[in-house]
Chain A
């Protein structure tokens, strides 16, 4: 490592400093956190040894918050303030929520994302999810012995933009740096593929607590390429519980149960479902608050019959995903099962029948997503720099479109396009002197706006006034590697950048997030400063380290004057970093980022040329 001695004295001398990173599976019923330790991905347990954290948050009257098992225990006695399966509400409106009638929550029927009224005030699903993330992050930090550099959070592949954005917002409120939102089936494929060094076409069937995904991946030479994905973001093990719950009500002739009894019966329904995985029949024995008693027995066959329509709902997406990938069932080399709900024997049977082969179940279906996420987090944090590392190429699950005349949708980006992707479209003004323009972006496959998900309304302002039809406004829709959309606009004849303001249909505004961040900090004001300082020092170290490495590798791309300037800005940031003014450190970081912007461009350039040159060399050898 003699080369590194050319770095400034006192600058990080550990080029391969291990950065603490974790993978988080933020599930509908359970959540997990995993990390790579000594090259092996492991799920981290709490102090009782349990790795699964029930995704349950309880708000108490004294202002405290319980998360996990403790909260779950209270859910029969305090149903209104104990939030289960909050993932189902992420990025969703009140009208989208299924089974509202059996839910004990006090919903606030507002526009946009659904809200819940609790003893601690109105909560958004984003805030509830943030509580779960905080507990998992704390667990990881305690186990790893330091603050996390970044996390990978998994989302269902079929999550739309609003649901993804809500997840990312939750992470922000929990104070986490999100390296990537990773699709759950892709995470599972990473855990499986790297384990078995597989090549070929694989299907991942992921039936979780509340979501269903199906992805087709092509694995070749370290590339995990998603060819197509499909699913149902409102179908999961919960629905099987609910179906059994309805069966119990029907058989026991109970018409609307009290909310306590409903909770109790739902728990028993879930237990019976789980029992039926191993046993031929299950007894459901529940004493009710009304002094009545439920005592029923259900066989595995009966359970399969009453839930057959749910299993069938997973078959249509299987056909669609194969058609989208241009494949048939025989082309698939292996089928990976993910999610606790895939333990149900009749699900395994249906999948085996469809693909004509027994599915793979050698990894724990509850843990495989978190394990894969941890492996990817380790890579994204920059802990491995091996050139022949693997790479994930994922897709956008649902088409993006614009509302046009008559409530029709014009597709801008087609589903299953590899990310990141951008599309530009040109528009013109229809009135003289028009300076503003509005767009409605929707997501989905249907032709009518009302049959698609409304994502956001974008308003362009600052278009230079011209005669009608003279302005040429180029609007660019960019979807990044997290599957999140951003919109930019430019008037082409004048080059003026139009201002884009976004009104998400089912999301939080920047102001709301700022308020929530502020509220979270209110309890500990000095904590807030300490945290901000720590974050900026961290960021400064990250940037200094990255820049040092870049200078070592590609320093020759700079002229002596350019090099001198960068060195000066680096020294300045080093000084600031030792101080306690987080605003000043931020300025130093921004200055260094600006000073190295052009350098970054040249490096990327050099890298691309090297990729092409290397390839030609290989071809000659071959």
Chain B
């Protein structure tokens, strides 16, 4: 009788299941749903309603968080497609990508040791635009070619870049304190 709280996040927001997402439609569906389910809408009601509102709102937040960012959206699509992105275990990466990884890592390490804020910020920008190029590839693999194994490899590369991005953020933060 009740809608399955675990249903597909795309269906929850009434969106087609694909990598390219209409961001405005996603945000407006998110807001519309919260207007109904958010605990603030049920604060004056009995505990049973409050509890359900919290479960629903939690799920809506989780769904939005997952679909909003390209990487988590890609990983979620892979999961729905039954493909294990194998982020920790899969070591079958192209030598080209491994080389690239090493170069990035060295550059970040050097800038961090030299406490070079400007260089760190430059790397941040370069990583961001490199990441954006991968979004295009993901869109091609998911929505046009329907090639999940290529998509999984691209997602792994993106994952690595975001991790590095995070390390740069931490380094910048540490330098500010």
A residues with a Cβ closer than 8 A to B are 19, 149-150, 179-180, 221, 223, 316, 319-320, 323, 376, 379-382, 387, 391-393, 417-422, 478, 480-481, 542-543, 546-547, 592-593, 596-598, 600-602, 604-605, 607-612, 614-616, 619
Stretch of B25-33, B96-104, B139-147 at the chain-chain interface: B25-33
Footprint of A on B, CB under 8 Å? Answer: 1-3, 13-14, 25, 28-29, 31-41, 43-49, 52-54, 56-58, 61-62, 64-65, 169, 172-173, 176-177
In the bound complex, CA of A610 to CA of B49 (Å) = 18
Q: Is the CB of A604 within 8 A of B58?
A: no
**Neighbouring A residues of B38 by C-beta, 8 Å:** 391, 393, 481
Rounded to whole angstroms, the CA-CA distance of A609 and B38 in the bound complex is: 15
CB < 8 Å: which of A221, A592, A600, A611 contacts B33?
A611
Write the chain B residue with the least CB distance to A414. Answer: B65
Which of A19, A149, A614, A615: most chain B CB closer than 10 A?
A: A615
B29, A615: Cβ atoms closer than 8 Å: yes
Chain A residue numbers with a CB within 8 Å of B28 are 615
Cα-based distance from A610 to B14 in the complex (angstroms): 12
From B2, B36, B43, B47, A610 is in contact (CB under 8 Å) with: B36
**A-chain residues with CB within 8 Å of residue B40 when the two chains form the complex:** 180, 376, 379-380, 391-392, 481
Contacts of A379 in B (CB 8 A): 40
The answer to whether A601 and B52 touch across the interface, beta carbons within 8 angstroms, is yes
**Nearest CB in chain A to that of B47: its residue:** A593
Residue of B nearest to A447 (CB): B170
A422: which B residues are within 8 A, CB to CB?
Answer: 58, 62
* A-side interface mostly: helix
Q: Which residues of A contact B52 (CB under 8 A)?
A: 600-601, 604
B115 to chain A, nearest CB (A): 16
User: B147 CB to closest chain A CB, in angstroms?
Assistant: 30
Across the interface, A604 reaches (CB within 8 A) one of B25, B29, B35, B56, namely B56
Complexed CA–CA distance, A150 and B47 (Å) = 14
Cβ contacts under 8 Å, B29 to chain A? 612, 615
Cross-chain contact of A421 among B34, B45, B58, B173 (Cβ < 8 A): B58
Q: How far is the CB of A6 from chain B (nearest CB, A)?
A: 20
Contact of B32 among A179, A376, A381, A611 (CB under 8 A): A611
Q: Give the top 3 A-B pairs by smallest Cβ distance, nearest first.
A: A382-B44, A380-B43, A481-B39
Contacts of A593 in B (CB 8 A): 46-48
Nearest-CB residue, chain B, relative to A422: B58
- Chain B residue with the shortest CB-CB distance to A619: B25
CA distance A221 to B35 in the complex (A): 11
Which B residue sits closest to A382, measured CB to CB? B44
User: In the assembly, what is the distance between CA of A481 and CA of B58, in Å?
Assistant: 10
* A304, B53: Cα distance in complex, Å: 49
B38 to chain A, nearest CB (A): 6
- Per a CB cutoff under 8 Å, which of B13, B48, B49, B58 touches A420? B58
The smallest C-beta distance from A313 to any residue of chain B, in angstroms, reads 11
A residues near B177, Cβ cutoff 8 Å: 316
| A481 surroundings in chain B (CB, below 8 A) | 38-40, 54, 57
List of A residues within 8 angstroms of B65 by Cβ: 417-418
Measured in the bound complex, the distance between the Cα atoms of B177 and A180 in whole Å is 34
With the chains together, A608 CA to B48 CA distance in Å? 17
Cβ contact within 8 Å between B62 and A604: no
Given contacts A478-B54, A604-B52, A604-B56, contact A614 B37 (CB under 8 A): no
Contact A597 B58 (CB under 8 A): no
B44, B49, B61: the one within 8 Å of A418 (CB): B61
CA A619 to CA B29, docked complex, whole Å: 11
| Bound-complex Cα distance A611 to B176 (A) | 45
Bound Cα distance A320, B170 (Å): 11
**In angstroms, how far is the closest chain A Cβ from the Cβ of B13?**
8
Alpha-carbon gap, A503 to B73, bound state (A): 38
Q: Which residues of A contact B45 (CB under 8 A)?
A: 382, 546, 600
**Which residues of A sit under 8 angstroms from B48, Cβ to Cβ?**
593, 596-597, 600
- Complex Cα gap A468–B42 (Å): 44
Chain B contacts for A323, CB-based, 8 A? 169, 172-173
Contacts of B1 in A (CB 8 A): 598, 601-602, 605
A259 vs chain B, min Cβ distance (A):
35
Q: Are B176 and A319 in contact (CB under 8 A)?
A: yes
Chain A residues near B54 (CB-CB < 8 A): 420, 478, 480-481
- Most A CB atoms within 10 A — which of B29, B43, B65? B43
How far apart sit A543 and B48, CA to CA, in the bound complex (Å)?
A: 11
Q: Does the CB pair B31–A221 fall under 8 Å?
A: yes
CB distance from A345 to the nearest CB of B (A): 26
Is there an interface contact between B176 and A316, defined as CB atoms closer than 8 Å? Answer: yes
Question: What CA separation (Å) do A611 and B14 show in the bound complex?
Answer: 10
Contacts of A320 in B (CB 8 A): 173, 176
Tell me the complex Cα distance, A387–B58, Å: 21
Q: A380-B44, A542-B46, A604-B53 are in contact. List 13 more A-B contacts (CB 8 A).
A: A19-B44, A179-B43, A380-B40, A382-B43, A391-B31, A418-B65, A421-B58, A478-B54, A481-B39, A597-B48, A600-B45, A604-B2, A619-B25
Which chain A residue shows the least CB distance to B14?
A: A612
Q: How far is the CA of A354 from the CA of B61 in the complex (A)?
A: 32
The chain A residue with its CB closest to the CB of B42 is A604
Bound complex: CA of A323 vs CA of B121, how far in Å? 12
Residues of B within 8 A of A381 (CB): 43-44
Q: Which residues of A contact B34 (CB under 8 A)?
A: 223, 391, 393
Give 11 A-B contacts (CB < 8 Å), ordered by A residue: A149-B44, A180-B43, A323-B169, A417-B65, A418-B65, A481-B54, A546-B44, A600-B45, A607-B37, A608-B56, A612-B13
Q: How far is the CA of A298 from the CA of B12 in the complex (A)?
A: 63
Chain B residues, CB < 8 A from A611? 32-33, 35-36
- Known A391-B38, A393-B38: A608·B33 in contact at CB below 8 Å: yes
Give Cα A605 to B59, complex, Å: 13
Verify A420–B173 contact, CB threshold 8 A: no
> Of the candidates B2, B39, B62, B176, which one forms a contact with A601 in the assembled complex, judged by CB atoms under 8 Å apart?
B2
Enumerate chain A residues within 8 angstroms of B14, measured Cβ to Cβ: 612, 615-616
* Chain A proximity of B9: nearest CB distance (Å): 13
Tell whether, in the assembled complex, residue B32 and residue A615 are in contact, meaning their CB atoms are under 8 Å apart.
Answer: yes
Would you call B3 and A609 a contact (CB within 8 A)?
Answer: yes
Contacts of A319 in B (CB 8 A): 176
Smallest distance from the beta carbon of A513 to chain B beta carbons, Å? 19
Which of A596, A607, A616 is within 8 Å of B46, CB to CB? A596
Complex Cα–Cα for A604 and B13 (A): 16
What CA separation (Å) do A180 and B41 show in the bound complex? 12
Cα(A605)–Cα(B65), bound, Å: 22
From A597, which residue of chain B is reached at the shortest CB distance? Answer: B48
Residues of B within 8 A of A382 (CB): 43-45
Contacts of A598 in B (CB 8 A): 1
